[in-house]
Amino acid sequence: MIAFIDAHRAVYGVEPICRVLPIAPSTYCAHAARRADQSKLPGRARRDARLQVEIRRVFEENFRVYGVRKVWRQLGREGIAVARCTVARLMRTMGLQGAVRGKPVRTTISDKAAPCPLDRVNRQFRALRPNALWVSDFTYVATWAGFVYVAFVIDAFARRIVGWRVSRTAHAGFVLDALEQALHERRPIKGGLVHHSDRGVQLGFKWSSQHLCAPPAALRQRPRRAFSSPAFCVAGH
């Protein structure tokens, strides 16, 4: 809002703009005075400015690899008393991030050229009853033994996880296991459920995507792959 007034004050003036926007002219003038004279800044803002200089110095002196914890401890060793959450907030504001060991993990790889079913829910993730809309995805979690992948299915009505599975590798089967668990536990009515996921394509991982699924009784008569089959599901996205 302040930036908008700065950009248009030469044409419209400050007070006419403030009459339209929910801001008092005195508030804008106070901000302008603080920018012109740093001594008028609040105490927290002045301290943040001093800490930002020290944080950047420690970050640069350590080859730009220190994260929040190590920067905070180094400041403490130098006698600069500051809370860890303050260091985290200022580093986030400054765009500073420490080096992370290992390779970055990507859980969604989109392919614009791949066929994408229609979005049956129009990005409206609300339901009027249980077992009307399920949303699913998978993520990764760091453990002492390494990264593991976790797939989950959430009922949009109750915001409750109704199916989940954990795997050491990202393969389509463990996502379908989570969906199968949800179907077995909830037993939705035929034609009454929409299952929605994102459009990732790696390893065929989201090939189940979004479906109107058949009841579990019919699914149990077929192999597990059947509940993405056109015989039981109408695909959409």
Per mean pLDDT, which of 6-15, 122-131, 183-192 is the most reliable?
6-15
Same domain, 156 and 86: no
Strand order of the β-sheet with 160-167 is 160-167, 146-155, 133-143, 194-196, 210-212, 234-236
| Confidence band of 202 (pLDDT split at 50, 70, 90) | very low
Single out the residue in 65, 94, 123 at which a domain terminates: 94
Give the mean model confidence (pLDDT) for residues 121-132.
85
Single out the residue in 42, 76, 94 at which a domain terminates: 94
Query: What pLDDT was estimated at residue 71?
Result: 97
Same domain, 70 and 16: yes
Q: Considering the domain boundaries, does residue 177 fall inside one? A: yes
Same domain, 142 and 229: yes
Residues 6 or more apart from 10 whose CB is under 8 A from it? none
Same domain, 142 and 226: yes
Same domain, 84 and 7: yes
Range of the domain at 82: 2-94
Same domain, 87 and 151: no
Q: Considering the domain boundaries, does residue 128 fall inside one? A: no
Q: Considering the domain boundaries, does residue 50 fall inside one? A: yes
Q: What is the number of structural domains in the chain?
A: 2
Q: Considering the domain boundaries, does residue 182 fall inside one? A: yes
pLDDT above 90: residue 73: yes
d(CA 178, CA 188): 15
Task: Centre a 10 Å sphere on the Cβ of residue 80 and count the other Cβ atoms it contains.
Answer: 15
Q: Considering the domain boundaries, does residue 114 fall inside one? A: no
| Confidence band of 40 (pLDDT split at 50, 70, 90) | confident
Query: What pLDDT was estimated at residue 201?
Result: 46
pTM above 0.85, yes or no: no
Task: Centre a 10 Å sphere on the Cβ of residue 93 and count the other Cβ atoms it contains.
Answer: 11
Q: Considering the domain boundaries, does residue 45 fall inside one? A: yes
